[in-house]
Amino acid sequence: MLNLILPKSYAKEINQNRLATTFKEGVKVLGLKKNSSLTLRVTNNRLIRQFNNAWRGENSPTDVLSFENAFTDPETGEEYLGDLVISFEKARQQARAGGHAIQAEIEMLFVHGLLHLAGYDHAEKQDWAEMTKMQDQILKNIGNPLEGGIQYNE
C-alpha cells in the first residue's frame, strides 16, 4: 500500500493513480511481497533540505531521500519498507531542465527511492548498472519515457 502525503498545492500537478500504479509495478518487478507498503511525502526544498542536513550532513535540498525502516506489522502482517521524501520544487526544476513533464520526474524519483528501500545502491559501478537496469525496467513498464536517470560519479 502506498501512503501518500501530498499537499493540496501540489495535488493538481501529480496524478496519484499513476503513483499507485508505479508502486504496484515496482513491487512486482522487485519481487517484493504483495502486502508491502511505504510512505511517500512530497514536500518543498526547505523541508527536504532540513532532512538532508539532519540525516546526511548536507545542508542543501536534494530531489529524493530514502529512509529504510523495514518491519512487519504484527497486527496486519503488512511489510513496511520505509519512507521516501521527494522535493516537488527540485523535481519541477529537473523536469524543466530535462524538457519533460513533472509527473515523469516524480515517478522516476519515486522508483529510485523505492529501489533504495529494496536494498539497491549506486555507489559502485556494478551496483549502479544493476540499479539503473531495474529503474529503467519499471519506468518502461509504466510507460514513463525517462531512462538512465541515475548518476554515477567515478
- pLDDT, tens digit (0-9, with 9 covering 90-100), for 2-19: 999 999 999 999 999 999
Is residue 133 pLDDT above 80, yes or no?
Answer: yes
In a domain? residue 113: yes
Q: Is the pLDDT of residue 113 over 90?
A: yes
The answer to whether residue 153 sits within a structural domain is no
Q: How many domains does the chain have?
A: 1
What is the average per-residue pLDDT within 92-116? 96
Q: Is residue 26 part of a domain?
A: yes
Query: Where are the alpha helices (H) located in the chain, listed in sequence order?
Result: 8-11, 16-30, 45-56, 88-98, 102-117, 125-141
Strand partners, 43: 87
43: nearest Cα among 76, 21, 65: 65
Q: What integer best gives the mean pLDDT of the chain?
A: 93
Average pLDDT estimate for 138-146: 96
Domain limits for position 67: 2-141
Average pLDDT for 88-102: 96
pLDDT at 6: 96
Question: Is residue 148 domain-resident?
Answer: no
| 124 within a domain of the structure (yes/no) | yes
Residue with cell 498545492: 9
Q: What is the CATH number of the domain that holds 49?
A: 3.40.390.30
Q: Return the C-alpha cell found at 16.
A: 496519484
